[in-house]
Structure 1
Amino acid sequence: MLLSMTGFGEARAQEAGLAITAEVRSVNNRHLKISAKINDPYGRLEPELEQLAREYARRGTVQVSVRIERPRKVEDYRLNQVALASYREQLERLGGGPVDLGALLGLPGIVEEFRTAAPDVAGEWPVIARVATEALKNFEAARAREGAAMAAELLALVRSIRESLARVADRAPLLVQSYQKRLTERVQALVQEYGVAIDAKDLIREVAILADRSDVSEELVRLRAHLEQYEEILDGPESGGRKLEFVVQEMGREVNTVGSKSNDVEISRIVVEIKGVLERIRELVQNVE
Protein backbone atom coordinates (compact mmCIF):
# COMPACT_ATOMS: atom_id res chain seq x y z
CA MET A 1 0.00 0.00 0.00
CA LEU A 2 1.50 3.28 -1.08
CA LEU A 3 1.42 6.31 1.20
CA SER A 4 1.87 9.85 -0.02
CA MET A 5 4.43 12.01 1.74
CA THR A 6 2.07 14.98 1.60
CA GLY A 7 -1.02 15.05 3.76
CA PHE A 8 -3.06 16.85 6.39
CA GLY A 9 -5.00 15.74 9.42
CA GLU A 10 -6.64 17.49 12.35
CA ALA A 11 -8.65 16.73 15.46
CA ARG A 12 -10.41 18.79 18.13
CA ALA A 13 -11.77 17.90 21.54
CA GLN A 14 -12.91 19.42 24.83
CA GLU A 15 -12.02 17.13 27.68
CA ALA A 16 -10.84 17.41 31.29
CA GLY A 17 -11.40 21.15 31.23
CA LEU A 18 -9.16 21.58 28.16
CA ALA A 19 -9.91 22.72 24.62
CA ILE A 20 -7.39 20.88 22.42
CA THR A 21 -6.72 21.39 18.70
CA ALA A 22 -4.16 19.21 16.91
CA GLU A 23 -2.99 19.57 13.31
CA VAL A 24 -0.56 17.47 11.27
CA ARG A 25 0.77 18.36 7.82
CA SER A 26 3.67 17.12 5.75
CA VAL A 27 5.62 17.64 2.53
CA ASN A 28 8.03 15.32 0.75
CA ASN A 29 11.61 14.81 1.90
CA ARG A 30 14.11 12.01 1.25
CA HIS A 31 14.49 11.61 5.01
CA LEU A 32 12.23 11.94 8.05
CA LYS A 33 12.14 15.35 9.71
CA ILE A 34 9.56 15.99 12.44
CA SER A 35 8.76 19.35 14.02
CA ALA A 36 6.49 19.30 17.10
CA LYS A 37 5.05 22.45 18.65
CA ILE A 38 2.81 22.88 21.73
CA ASN A 39 1.94 26.21 23.30
CA ASP A 40 3.14 27.11 26.79
CA PRO A 41 3.14 25.82 29.46
CA TYR A 42 3.07 22.43 27.71
CA GLY A 43 6.28 22.86 25.73
CA ARG A 44 8.10 20.11 27.59
CA LEU A 45 5.73 17.58 26.02
CA GLU A 46 7.12 18.25 22.53
CA PRO A 47 9.56 15.26 22.62
CA GLU A 48 6.66 12.92 23.50
CA LEU A 49 4.60 14.40 20.67
CA GLU A 50 7.49 13.94 18.22
CA GLN A 51 7.90 10.31 19.29
CA LEU A 52 4.18 9.77 18.77
CA ALA A 53 4.42 11.18 15.24
CA ARG A 54 7.28 8.80 14.38
CA GLU A 55 4.82 5.92 14.63
CA TYR A 56 2.90 7.32 11.65
CA ALA A 57 5.66 8.52 9.28
CA ARG A 58 8.93 7.17 7.92
CA ARG A 59 9.83 9.83 5.36
CA GLY A 60 8.93 13.46 4.75
CA THR A 61 8.93 16.73 6.62
CA VAL A 62 6.15 16.44 9.19
CA GLN A 63 4.83 19.34 11.26
CA VAL A 64 2.70 18.58 14.31
CA SER A 65 1.13 21.44 16.20
CA VAL A 66 -1.09 21.26 19.27
CA ARG A 67 -2.96 24.21 20.79
CA ILE A 68 -4.32 23.84 24.32
CA GLU A 69 -6.65 26.33 25.94
CA ARG A 70 -8.24 26.19 29.34
CA PRO A 71 -11.75 27.76 29.16
CA ARG A 72 -12.26 30.52 31.70
CA LYS A 73 -14.81 30.23 34.50
CA VAL A 74 -16.86 32.89 36.26
CA GLU A 75 -14.83 32.52 39.42
CA ASP A 76 -11.63 33.31 37.50
CA TYR A 77 -12.57 37.02 37.52
CA ARG A 78 -13.64 39.58 40.14
CA LEU A 79 -14.35 43.29 40.25
CA ASN A 80 -12.01 45.59 42.09
CA GLN A 81 -14.72 47.50 43.92
CA VAL A 82 -12.32 50.05 45.37
CA ALA A 83 -11.04 51.01 41.92
CA LEU A 84 -14.57 51.00 40.50
CA ALA A 85 -15.83 53.32 43.25
CA SER A 86 -12.86 55.63 42.78
CA TYR A 87 -13.44 55.93 39.03
CA ARG A 88 -17.15 56.50 39.57
CA GLU A 89 -16.75 59.23 42.18
CA GLN A 90 -14.19 61.13 40.12
CA LEU A 91 -16.23 60.97 36.93
CA GLU A 92 -19.43 62.02 38.72
CA ARG A 93 -17.66 65.04 40.19
CA LEU A 94 -16.34 65.98 36.76
CA GLY A 95 -19.58 65.33 34.91
CA GLY A 96 -22.02 66.41 37.55
CA GLY A 97 -24.24 63.35 37.20
CA PRO A 98 -24.43 59.56 37.52
CA VAL A 99 -22.08 57.40 35.47
CA ASP A 100 -23.02 54.20 33.64
CA LEU A 101 -21.15 51.42 35.42
CA GLY A 102 -20.93 49.38 32.23
CA ALA A 103 -18.79 52.09 30.69
CA LEU A 104 -16.26 51.70 33.51
CA LEU A 105 -15.60 47.96 33.12
CA GLY A 106 -12.99 48.44 30.41
CA LEU A 107 -10.87 50.79 32.50
CA PRO A 108 -7.53 49.54 33.86
CA GLY A 109 -7.70 47.71 37.18
CA ILE A 110 -11.49 47.26 37.27
CA VAL A 111 -11.60 43.54 36.34
CA GLU A 112 -8.98 41.39 38.02
CA GLU A 113 -8.04 37.95 36.78
CA PHE A 114 -7.09 35.31 39.26
CA ARG A 115 -3.99 33.38 38.31
CA THR A 116 -4.90 29.72 38.20
CA ALA A 117 -2.56 27.09 39.53
CA ALA A 118 0.04 25.65 37.15
CA PRO A 119 -1.46 22.80 35.08
CA ASP A 120 -0.51 19.19 35.70
CA VAL A 121 1.33 18.82 32.38
CA ALA A 122 2.30 15.17 32.86
CA GLY A 123 -1.14 14.22 34.14
CA GLU A 124 -2.87 15.88 31.18
CA TRP A 125 -0.62 14.25 28.57
CA PRO A 126 -2.89 11.17 28.05
CA VAL A 127 -5.76 13.46 27.04
CA ILE A 128 -3.50 15.48 24.76
CA ALA A 129 -2.02 12.32 23.27
CA ARG A 130 -5.47 10.96 22.37
CA VAL A 131 -6.34 14.09 20.39
CA ALA A 132 -2.92 14.15 18.72
CA THR A 133 -3.28 10.46 17.82
CA GLU A 134 -6.66 11.10 16.24
CA ALA A 135 -5.12 13.87 14.12
CA LEU A 136 -2.27 11.55 13.12
CA LYS A 137 -4.74 8.83 12.10
CA ASN A 138 -6.66 11.32 9.97
CA PHE A 139 -3.32 12.41 8.51
CA GLU A 140 -2.45 8.79 7.68
CA ALA A 141 -5.86 8.20 6.08
CA ALA A 142 -5.42 11.26 3.84
CA ARG A 143 -1.99 10.02 2.77
CA ALA A 144 -3.41 6.57 2.04
CA ARG A 145 -6.12 8.03 -0.20
CA GLU A 146 -3.60 10.03 -2.17
CA GLY A 147 -1.27 7.03 -2.25
CA ALA A 148 -4.00 4.86 -3.77
CA ALA A 149 -4.52 7.41 -6.53
CA MET A 150 -0.77 7.50 -7.22
CA ALA A 151 -0.59 3.69 -7.29
CA ALA A 152 -3.31 3.57 -9.93
CA GLU A 153 -1.43 6.08 -12.08
CA LEU A 154 1.90 4.28 -11.57
CA LEU A 155 0.34 1.00 -12.71
CA ALA A 156 -1.08 2.68 -15.80
CA LEU A 157 2.35 4.11 -16.62
CA VAL A 158 4.07 0.75 -16.23
CA ARG A 159 1.55 -0.80 -18.64
CA SER A 160 2.52 1.88 -21.13
CA ILE A 161 6.19 0.90 -20.77
CA ARG A 162 5.35 -2.79 -21.27
CA GLU A 163 3.58 -1.96 -24.53
CA SER A 164 6.57 0.08 -25.70
CA LEU A 165 9.00 -2.74 -24.87
CA ALA A 166 6.87 -5.15 -26.91
CA ARG A 167 7.21 -2.81 -29.88
CA VAL A 168 10.99 -2.71 -29.41
CA ALA A 169 11.13 -6.52 -29.17
CA ASP A 170 9.18 -6.81 -32.43
CA ARG A 171 11.32 -4.24 -34.19
CA ALA A 172 14.81 -5.35 -33.06
CA PRO A 173 15.11 -8.55 -35.18
CA LEU A 174 14.24 -6.59 -38.30
CA LEU A 175 17.33 -4.41 -37.85
CA VAL A 176 19.75 -7.22 -38.70
CA GLN A 177 17.71 -8.23 -41.73
CA SER A 178 17.57 -4.64 -42.92
CA TYR A 179 21.31 -4.18 -42.41
CA GLN A 180 22.07 -7.44 -44.23
CA LYS A 181 19.92 -6.35 -47.15
CA ARG A 182 21.58 -2.90 -47.37
CA LEU A 183 25.06 -4.41 -47.08
CA THR A 184 24.34 -6.98 -49.80
CA GLU A 185 23.01 -4.32 -52.15
CA ARG A 186 26.09 -2.18 -51.51
CA VAL A 187 28.44 -5.09 -52.20
CA GLN A 188 26.63 -5.96 -55.39
CA ALA A 189 26.93 -2.35 -56.54
CA LEU A 190 30.69 -2.39 -55.84
CA VAL A 191 31.10 -5.66 -57.73
CA GLN A 192 29.27 -4.29 -60.75
CA GLU A 193 31.11 -0.96 -60.74
CA TYR A 194 34.65 -2.03 -59.88
CA GLY A 195 34.63 -5.78 -60.34
CA VAL A 196 35.62 -6.24 -56.71
CA ALA A 197 35.25 -9.75 -55.35
CA ILE A 198 33.77 -10.03 -51.84
CA ASP A 199 34.10 -13.25 -49.86
CA ALA A 200 30.72 -14.41 -48.54
CA LYS A 201 32.39 -15.14 -45.19
CA ASP A 202 33.35 -11.48 -44.83
CA LEU A 203 29.78 -10.45 -45.51
CA ILE A 204 28.44 -12.89 -42.94
CA ARG A 205 31.02 -11.71 -40.39
CA GLU A 206 30.00 -8.07 -40.81
CA VAL A 207 26.35 -8.95 -40.35
CA ALA A 208 27.18 -11.02 -37.26
CA ILE A 209 29.16 -8.14 -35.73
CA LEU A 210 26.25 -5.75 -36.18
CA ALA A 211 23.81 -8.33 -34.84
CA ASP A 212 25.92 -8.68 -31.70
CA ARG A 213 26.32 -4.93 -31.21
CA SER A 214 22.66 -4.15 -31.71
CA ASP A 215 21.29 -7.09 -29.71
CA VAL A 216 19.10 -5.68 -26.93
CA SER A 217 17.52 -8.95 -25.80
CA GLU A 218 19.39 -8.95 -22.48
CA GLU A 219 18.36 -5.38 -21.77
CA LEU A 220 14.74 -6.21 -22.54
CA VAL A 221 14.87 -9.23 -20.19
CA ARG A 222 16.28 -7.08 -17.38
CA LEU A 223 13.72 -4.35 -18.05
CA ARG A 224 10.87 -6.83 -17.78
CA ALA A 225 12.33 -8.12 -14.51
CA HIS A 226 12.48 -4.55 -13.18
CA LEU A 227 8.86 -4.02 -14.21
CA GLU A 228 7.82 -7.13 -12.29
CA GLN A 229 9.68 -5.94 -9.19
CA TYR A 230 8.09 -2.51 -9.60
CA GLU A 231 4.60 -4.03 -9.63
CA GLU A 232 5.41 -6.22 -6.62
CA ILE A 233 6.40 -3.13 -4.64
CA LEU A 234 3.16 -1.41 -5.60
CA ASP A 235 1.15 -4.42 -4.44
CA GLY A 236 3.20 -4.90 -1.25
CA PRO A 237 1.85 -4.30 2.26
CA GLU A 238 4.27 -1.43 2.92
CA SER A 239 4.92 1.83 1.15
CA GLY A 240 8.20 1.34 -0.74
CA GLY A 241 9.17 4.75 -2.03
CA ARG A 242 12.93 4.17 -1.69
CA LYS A 243 12.71 0.79 -3.46
CA LEU A 244 10.72 2.33 -6.29
CA GLU A 245 13.32 5.06 -6.71
CA PHE A 246 16.05 2.44 -7.08
CA VAL A 247 14.08 0.29 -9.53
CA VAL A 248 13.18 3.29 -11.71
CA GLN A 249 16.83 4.33 -11.74
CA GLU A 250 17.84 0.86 -13.00
CA MET A 251 15.10 0.94 -15.62
CA GLY A 252 16.46 4.25 -16.88
CA ARG A 253 19.93 2.76 -17.32
CA GLU A 254 18.63 -0.19 -19.33
CA VAL A 255 16.52 2.07 -21.54
CA ASN A 256 19.57 4.26 -22.25
CA THR A 257 21.51 1.17 -23.28
CA VAL A 258 18.74 0.10 -25.65
CA GLY A 259 18.80 3.52 -27.24
CA SER A 260 22.57 3.55 -27.69
CA LYS A 261 22.68 0.02 -29.16
CA SER A 262 19.83 0.40 -31.64
CA ASN A 263 20.80 2.47 -34.63
CA ASP A 264 17.21 2.74 -35.74
CA VAL A 265 14.91 5.73 -35.98
CA GLU A 266 11.79 3.84 -34.89
CA ILE A 267 13.40 2.31 -31.80
CA SER A 268 14.95 5.67 -30.93
CA ARG A 269 11.49 7.21 -31.03
CA ILE A 270 10.11 4.47 -28.75
CA VAL A 271 13.02 4.98 -26.34
CA VAL A 272 12.22 8.68 -26.12
CA GLU A 273 8.60 7.80 -25.30
CA ILE A 274 9.73 5.43 -22.54
CA LYS A 275 12.03 8.07 -21.07
CA GLY A 276 9.13 10.48 -20.93
CA VAL A 277 7.04 7.92 -19.03
CA LEU A 278 9.94 7.21 -16.65
CA GLU A 279 10.27 10.91 -15.92
CA ARG A 280 6.60 11.05 -14.96
CA ILE A 281 7.10 8.00 -12.75
CA ARG A 282 10.07 9.66 -11.03
CA GLU A 283 7.96 12.72 -10.26
CA LEU A 284 5.29 10.56 -8.63
CA VAL A 285 7.74 8.33 -6.76
CA GLN A 286 9.42 11.37 -5.19
CA ASN A 287 6.18 11.86 -3.23
CA VAL A 288 5.87 8.23 -2.08
CA GLU A 289 6.86 7.38 1.47
Structure 2
Amino acid sequence: MTGYGRGDVVQQGYRAVAELKAVNHRYAEIHVRMSRDLLAYEDSIKKLITEKIRRGRIEVYITFERLSGSVPEIEVNREFARELKKTSDRLAEELGVQSDLSVAQLLQFEGVVQVRTAEEDPEQVQKVIAQAVSQAVDKLLEMRAREGAQLAADFQERLDRLADAVQQMSERSPLVVEDYQERLQKRLQEWLEGKMELDESRLLTEVAIFAERADIDEELVRLRSHIKQFHETLKLVEPVGRKLDFLVQEMNREVNTIGSKSNDLILSQYVVEAKSLLEQIREQVQNVE
Protein backbone atom coordinates (compact mmCIF):
# COMPACT_ATOMS: atom_id res chain seq x y z
CA MET A 1 0.00 0.00 0.00
CA THR A 2 1.13 3.53 -0.65
CA GLY A 3 1.72 6.10 2.05
CA TYR A 4 3.90 8.89 3.40
CA GLY A 5 5.06 9.75 6.88
CA ARG A 6 7.36 12.37 8.38
CA GLY A 7 8.97 12.56 11.79
CA ASP A 8 10.87 15.55 13.19
CA VAL A 9 12.55 15.28 16.61
CA VAL A 10 14.72 17.83 18.43
CA GLN A 11 16.41 16.58 21.60
CA GLN A 12 19.65 17.07 23.54
CA GLY A 13 21.01 19.47 20.96
CA TYR A 14 20.31 17.14 18.03
CA ARG A 15 17.67 17.26 15.30
CA ALA A 16 16.64 14.23 13.23
CA VAL A 17 14.13 14.28 10.38
CA ALA A 18 12.83 11.01 8.93
CA GLU A 19 10.68 10.77 5.81
CA LEU A 20 9.13 7.47 4.68
CA LYS A 21 7.51 6.83 1.32
CA ALA A 22 5.78 3.50 0.69
CA VAL A 23 4.67 1.99 -2.59
CA ASN A 24 3.13 -1.36 -3.40
CA HIS A 25 5.40 -4.39 -3.30
CA ARG A 26 4.83 -8.09 -2.74
CA TYR A 27 7.49 -8.26 0.00
CA ALA A 28 9.08 -5.86 2.50
CA GLU A 29 11.88 -3.95 0.81
CA ILE A 30 13.50 -1.05 2.67
CA HIS A 31 16.00 1.42 1.22
CA VAL A 32 17.62 3.95 3.56
CA ARG A 33 19.13 7.21 2.29
CA MET A 34 21.35 9.13 4.72
CA SER A 35 24.86 10.54 5.11
CA ARG A 36 27.78 8.13 5.40
CA ASP A 37 28.51 9.07 9.00
CA LEU A 38 25.08 7.65 9.96
CA LEU A 39 25.48 4.24 8.25
CA ALA A 40 26.10 2.56 11.60
CA TYR A 41 22.41 3.14 12.44
CA GLU A 42 20.98 1.64 9.22
CA ASP A 43 20.24 -1.84 10.61
CA SER A 44 18.43 -0.47 13.66
CA ILE A 45 16.33 1.79 11.41
CA LYS A 46 15.29 -1.14 9.20
CA LYS A 47 14.47 -3.28 12.21
CA LEU A 48 12.30 -0.53 13.68
CA ILE A 49 10.35 -0.24 10.43
CA THR A 50 9.86 -3.98 9.83
CA GLU A 51 8.42 -4.39 13.31
CA LYS A 52 5.37 -2.43 12.10
CA ILE A 53 5.40 -2.78 8.32
CA ARG A 54 5.50 -6.25 6.75
CA ARG A 55 4.91 -5.47 3.07
CA GLY A 56 5.80 -2.73 0.59
CA ARG A 57 8.79 -0.92 -0.84
CA ILE A 58 9.82 1.72 1.69
CA GLU A 59 12.09 4.65 0.81
CA VAL A 60 13.61 6.16 3.97
CA TYR A 61 15.30 9.58 4.02
CA ILE A 62 17.18 10.61 7.16
CA THR A 63 18.71 14.03 7.84
CA PHE A 64 20.58 14.81 11.04
CA GLU A 65 22.20 17.90 12.52
CA ARG A 66 23.71 19.18 15.73
CA LEU A 67 21.90 22.29 16.97
CA SER A 68 23.89 23.32 20.04
CA GLY A 69 27.01 22.65 22.03
CA SER A 70 30.48 24.09 22.13
CA VAL A 71 31.78 26.15 19.24
CA PRO A 72 33.93 24.03 16.93
CA GLU A 73 37.61 24.22 17.90
CA ILE A 74 39.91 25.58 15.20
CA GLU A 75 43.54 24.49 15.30
CA VAL A 76 46.19 26.22 13.22
CA ASN A 77 49.43 24.41 12.40
CA ARG A 78 51.61 27.48 12.87
CA GLU A 79 54.87 25.67 12.25
CA PHE A 80 53.61 24.46 8.88
CA ALA A 81 52.35 27.98 8.06
CA ARG A 82 55.81 29.47 8.89
CA GLU A 83 57.52 26.95 6.64
CA LEU A 84 55.16 27.81 3.84
CA LYS A 85 55.83 31.53 4.30
CA LYS A 86 59.60 30.99 4.40
CA THR A 87 59.45 28.89 1.26
CA SER A 88 57.38 31.56 -0.48
CA ASP A 89 59.84 34.31 0.56
CA ARG A 90 62.92 32.35 -0.59
CA LEU A 91 61.33 31.54 -3.91
CA ALA A 92 60.34 35.20 -4.42
CA GLU A 93 63.91 36.30 -3.60
CA GLU A 94 65.41 33.80 -6.05
CA LEU A 95 63.05 34.89 -8.80
CA GLY A 96 63.46 38.55 -8.07
CA VAL A 97 59.81 39.16 -7.39
CA GLN A 98 57.85 40.33 -4.37
CA SER A 99 56.48 37.70 -2.01
CA ASP A 100 52.72 38.28 -1.87
CA LEU A 101 51.56 35.22 0.08
CA SER A 102 48.78 36.49 2.37
CA VAL A 103 47.45 35.01 5.60
CA ALA A 104 44.16 34.21 3.86
CA GLN A 105 46.04 32.25 1.23
CA LEU A 106 48.05 30.43 3.88
CA LEU A 107 44.87 29.31 5.64
CA GLN A 108 43.66 27.68 2.43
CA PHE A 109 46.58 25.22 2.31
CA GLU A 110 45.54 21.74 3.36
CA GLY A 111 46.94 20.91 6.77
CA VAL A 112 47.24 24.48 7.99
CA VAL A 113 43.76 24.58 9.58
CA GLN A 114 41.90 21.75 11.31
CA VAL A 115 38.36 22.08 12.64
CA ARG A 116 37.48 19.80 15.52
CA THR A 117 33.87 19.39 16.59
CA ALA A 118 32.70 17.88 19.84
CA GLU A 119 32.31 14.12 19.66
CA GLU A 120 28.78 12.83 19.11
CA ASP A 121 27.05 10.67 21.69
CA PRO A 122 26.16 7.52 19.65
CA GLU A 123 23.41 6.41 22.04
CA GLN A 124 21.76 9.81 21.99
CA VAL A 125 22.08 10.08 18.22
CA GLN A 126 20.45 6.68 17.78
CA LYS A 127 17.68 7.60 20.21
CA VAL A 128 16.81 10.80 18.34
CA ILE A 129 16.86 9.09 14.95
CA ALA A 130 14.72 6.21 16.28
CA GLN A 131 12.11 8.63 17.62
CA ALA A 132 11.95 10.45 14.29
CA VAL A 133 11.59 7.16 12.40
CA SER A 134 8.87 5.98 14.81
CA GLN A 135 6.93 9.18 14.25
CA ALA A 136 7.23 8.79 10.48
CA VAL A 137 6.12 5.14 10.63
CA ASP A 138 3.05 6.03 12.70
CA LYS A 139 2.07 8.79 10.25
CA LEU A 140 2.57 6.42 7.31
CA LEU A 141 0.44 3.75 9.00
CA GLU A 142 -2.34 6.27 9.58
CA MET A 143 -2.38 7.07 5.86
CA ARG A 144 -2.28 3.38 4.95
CA ALA A 145 -5.15 2.68 7.36
CA ARG A 146 -7.31 5.20 5.52
CA GLU A 147 -6.37 3.62 2.21
CA GLY A 148 -7.04 0.19 3.71
CA ALA A 149 -10.58 1.19 4.66
CA GLN A 150 -11.22 2.27 1.08
CA LEU A 151 -9.77 -0.99 -0.24
CA ALA A 152 -11.94 -3.02 2.13
CA ALA A 153 -15.06 -1.24 0.86
CA ASP A 154 -13.96 -1.92 -2.72
CA PHE A 155 -13.40 -5.61 -1.92
CA GLN A 156 -16.84 -5.89 -0.33
CA GLU A 157 -18.51 -4.44 -3.41
CA ARG A 158 -16.67 -6.75 -5.82
CA LEU A 159 -17.24 -9.80 -3.60
CA ASP A 160 -20.97 -9.07 -3.55
CA ARG A 161 -20.96 -8.97 -7.36
CA LEU A 162 -18.96 -12.20 -7.42
CA ALA A 163 -21.48 -13.85 -5.07
CA ASP A 164 -24.27 -12.76 -7.43
CA ALA A 165 -22.43 -14.37 -10.36
CA VAL A 166 -22.02 -17.57 -8.34
CA GLN A 167 -25.74 -17.58 -7.53
CA GLN A 168 -26.57 -17.12 -11.21
CA MET A 169 -24.30 -20.07 -12.06
CA SER A 170 -26.07 -22.14 -9.44
CA GLU A 171 -29.48 -21.27 -10.86
CA ARG A 172 -28.38 -21.84 -14.45
CA SER A 173 -26.67 -25.20 -13.89
CA PRO A 174 -29.82 -27.38 -13.56
CA LEU A 175 -31.37 -25.60 -16.55
CA VAL A 176 -28.37 -26.62 -18.64
CA VAL A 177 -28.95 -30.24 -17.70
CA GLU A 178 -32.67 -29.95 -18.47
CA ASP A 179 -31.94 -28.38 -21.84
CA TYR A 180 -29.50 -31.15 -22.67
CA GLN A 181 -32.06 -33.77 -21.62
CA GLU A 182 -34.67 -32.22 -23.89
CA ARG A 183 -32.32 -32.23 -26.85
CA LEU A 184 -31.31 -35.81 -26.11
CA GLN A 185 -34.92 -36.91 -25.84
CA LYS A 186 -35.70 -35.23 -29.13
CA ARG A 187 -32.88 -37.12 -30.82
CA LEU A 188 -34.06 -40.40 -29.29
CA GLN A 189 -37.60 -39.72 -30.47
CA GLU A 190 -36.38 -39.05 -33.99
CA TRP A 191 -34.39 -42.27 -33.87
CA LEU A 192 -37.40 -44.24 -32.69
CA GLU A 193 -39.47 -42.77 -35.51
CA GLY A 194 -36.80 -43.78 -37.99
CA LYS A 195 -35.98 -40.21 -38.97
CA MET A 196 -32.28 -40.59 -38.18
CA GLU A 197 -29.64 -43.18 -37.60
CA LEU A 198 -28.33 -43.50 -34.06
CA ASP A 199 -24.83 -44.52 -33.11
CA GLU A 200 -25.56 -46.13 -29.78
CA SER A 201 -21.95 -46.18 -28.52
CA ARG A 202 -21.48 -42.54 -29.39
CA LEU A 203 -24.69 -41.63 -27.62
CA LEU A 204 -23.66 -43.46 -24.46
CA THR A 205 -20.25 -41.82 -24.54
CA GLU A 206 -21.81 -38.40 -24.95
CA VAL A 207 -24.17 -38.96 -22.04
CA ALA A 208 -21.33 -40.10 -19.78
CA ILE A 209 -19.12 -37.14 -20.65
CA PHE A 210 -21.90 -34.62 -20.18
CA ALA A 211 -22.96 -36.13 -16.86
CA GLU A 212 -19.45 -35.73 -15.56
CA ARG A 213 -18.95 -32.21 -16.83
CA ALA A 214 -22.34 -30.79 -16.06
CA ASP A 215 -22.07 -31.15 -12.29
CA ILE A 216 -20.52 -27.96 -10.83
CA ASP A 217 -22.05 -28.19 -7.36
CA GLU A 218 -18.73 -28.91 -5.63
CA GLU A 219 -17.03 -25.95 -7.29
CA LEU A 220 -19.88 -23.63 -6.33
CA VAL A 221 -19.78 -24.80 -2.70
CA ARG A 222 -16.03 -24.14 -2.51
CA LEU A 223 -16.44 -20.76 -4.20
CA ARG A 224 -19.00 -19.67 -1.62
CA SER A 225 -16.71 -20.89 1.15
CA HIS A 226 -13.76 -18.90 -0.22
CA ILE A 227 -15.89 -15.76 -0.54
CA LYS A 228 -16.97 -16.15 3.09
CA GLN A 229 -13.34 -16.63 4.20
CA PHE A 230 -12.32 -13.52 2.25
CA HIS A 231 -14.96 -11.46 4.08
CA GLU A 232 -13.81 -12.81 7.45
CA THR A 233 -10.13 -12.21 6.67
CA LEU A 234 -10.82 -8.55 5.90
CA LYS A 235 -11.93 -8.10 9.52
CA LEU A 236 -8.57 -9.23 10.95
CA VAL A 237 -6.11 -6.63 12.30
CA GLU A 238 -3.00 -8.63 11.41
CA PRO A 239 -1.30 -8.57 7.96
CA VAL A 240 -3.61 -10.49 5.61
CA GLY A 241 -2.22 -9.78 2.13
CA ARG A 242 -0.75 -13.23 1.56
CA LYS A 243 -3.88 -15.01 2.78
CA LEU A 244 -6.09 -12.92 0.52
CA ASP A 245 -3.78 -13.62 -2.40
CA PHE A 246 -4.10 -17.35 -1.72
CA LEU A 247 -7.90 -17.16 -1.55
CA VAL A 248 -8.06 -15.34 -4.87
CA GLN A 249 -5.93 -18.08 -6.45
CA GLU A 250 -8.26 -20.75 -5.09
CA MET A 251 -11.36 -18.91 -6.34
CA ASN A 252 -9.76 -18.57 -9.76
CA ARG A 253 -9.11 -22.30 -9.75
CA GLU A 254 -12.77 -23.09 -9.07
CA VAL A 255 -14.05 -20.64 -11.70
CA ASN A 256 -11.66 -22.04 -14.30
CA THR A 257 -12.92 -25.55 -13.53
CA ILE A 258 -16.52 -24.40 -13.99
CA GLY A 259 -15.52 -22.77 -17.26
CA SER A 260 -13.96 -25.98 -18.52
CA LYS A 261 -17.16 -27.88 -17.67
CA SER A 262 -19.49 -25.36 -19.23
CA ASN A 263 -20.87 -25.90 -22.73
CA ASP A 264 -23.63 -23.37 -22.21
CA LEU A 265 -23.39 -19.81 -23.53
CA ILE A 266 -25.19 -18.15 -20.61
CA LEU A 267 -23.19 -20.06 -18.00
CA SER A 268 -19.99 -19.17 -19.84
CA GLN A 269 -20.94 -15.48 -19.62
CA TYR A 270 -21.25 -15.78 -15.83
CA VAL A 271 -17.83 -17.44 -15.75
CA VAL A 272 -16.28 -14.58 -17.75
CA GLU A 273 -17.86 -12.04 -15.38
CA ALA A 274 -16.53 -13.93 -12.33
CA LYS A 275 -13.02 -14.13 -13.80
CA SER A 276 -13.05 -10.40 -14.55
CA LEU A 277 -14.07 -9.60 -10.96
CA LEU A 278 -11.38 -11.92 -9.56
CA GLU A 279 -8.72 -10.27 -11.68
CA GLN A 280 -9.77 -6.86 -10.34
CA ILE A 281 -9.66 -8.22 -6.78
CA ARG A 282 -6.25 -9.85 -7.40
CA GLU A 283 -4.77 -6.54 -8.57
CA GLN A 284 -6.03 -4.76 -5.46
CA VAL A 285 -4.83 -7.56 -3.15
CA GLN A 286 -1.26 -6.74 -4.21
CA ASN A 287 -1.73 -3.44 -2.35
CA VAL A 288 -2.61 -5.11 0.96
CA GLU A 289 -0.03 -5.79 3.65
TM-score calculated relative to the size of structure 2: 0.79
Confirm whether residue 156 of structure 1 aligns to residue 152 of structure 2: no
Matched letter for residue 240 of structure 2: G
Counterpart position of 1:101: none
- Please state whether the residue corresponding to 1:41 is helix, strand or coil: helix
Equivalences, count: 262
Distance 1:121 1:15, change over 3 A: same
Distance 1:136 1:49, change over 3 A: same
Query: For residues 25-64 of structure 1, what are the structure 2 equivalents within 5 Å?
Result: 25-64=21-60
Counterpart position of 1:121: 122
Whole-angstrom distance in 2 between the partners of 1:107 and 1:150 = 65
Whole-angstrom distance in 2 between the partners of 1:37 and 1:197 = 78
Whole-angstrom distance in 1 between the partners of 2:11 and 2:230 = 47
Counterpart position of 2:145: 144
* 1:156 Cα offset (Å): 0.9
- Residues 74-113 of structure 1, C-alpha deviations (whole Å, 9 max, x = no match): 95599x9xxxxxxxxxxxxxxxxxxxxxxxxx99959x99
Query: For residues 201-220 of structure 1, what are the structure 2 equivalents within 5 Å?
Result: 210-220=210-220
Query: For residues 230-245 of structure 1, what are the structure 2 equivalents within 5 Å?
Result: 230-245=230-245
Unaligned runs of at least 5 residues, structure 2: 77-103
Counterpart position of 1:167: 168
Counterpart position of 2:255: 255
- Please state whether the residue corresponding to 2:193 is helix, strand or coil: helix
CA contact (8 A) 1:180 1:207 kept: no
Counterpart position of 2:99: none
- Residues 2-54 of structure 1, C-alpha deviations (whole Å, 9 max, x = no match): xx3x2211112333222321011222332222223432432211111111111
* RMSD (CA atoms): 3.4
- Residues 149-207 of structure 1, C-alpha deviations (whole Å, 9 max, x = no match): 111111111111000011111111011111111112222233334487999xx989965
* 1:118 Cα offset (Å): 2.5
CA contact (8 A) 2:31 2:59 kept: yes
| More displaced stretch, 168-177 vs 117-126 | 117-126
Whole-angstrom distance in 1 between the partners of 2:197 and 2:282 = 55
Whole-angstrom distance in 2 between the partners of 1:192 and 1:232 = 58
Counterpart position of 2:184: 183
Counterpart position of 1:284: 284
Matched letter for residue 144 of structure 1: A
Counterpart position of 1:100: none
Whole-angstrom distance in 1 between the partners of 2:288 and 2:196 = 66
Query: For residues 193-204 of structure 1, what are the structure 2 equivalents within 5 Å?
Result: 193-194=194-195
Matched letter for residue 120 of structure 2: P
Q: Given the alignment, which residue of 14, 18, 23 partners 2:10?
A: 14
TM-score calculated relative to the size of structure 1: 0.79
Counterpart position of 1:69: 65
Determine what percentage of the aligned residue pairs are the same residue: 39
Counterpart position of 1:99: none
Unaligned runs of at least 5 residues, structure 1: 81-105
Distance 1:108 1:169, change over 3 A: farther
- Please state whether the residue corresponding to 1:180 is helix, strand or coil: helix
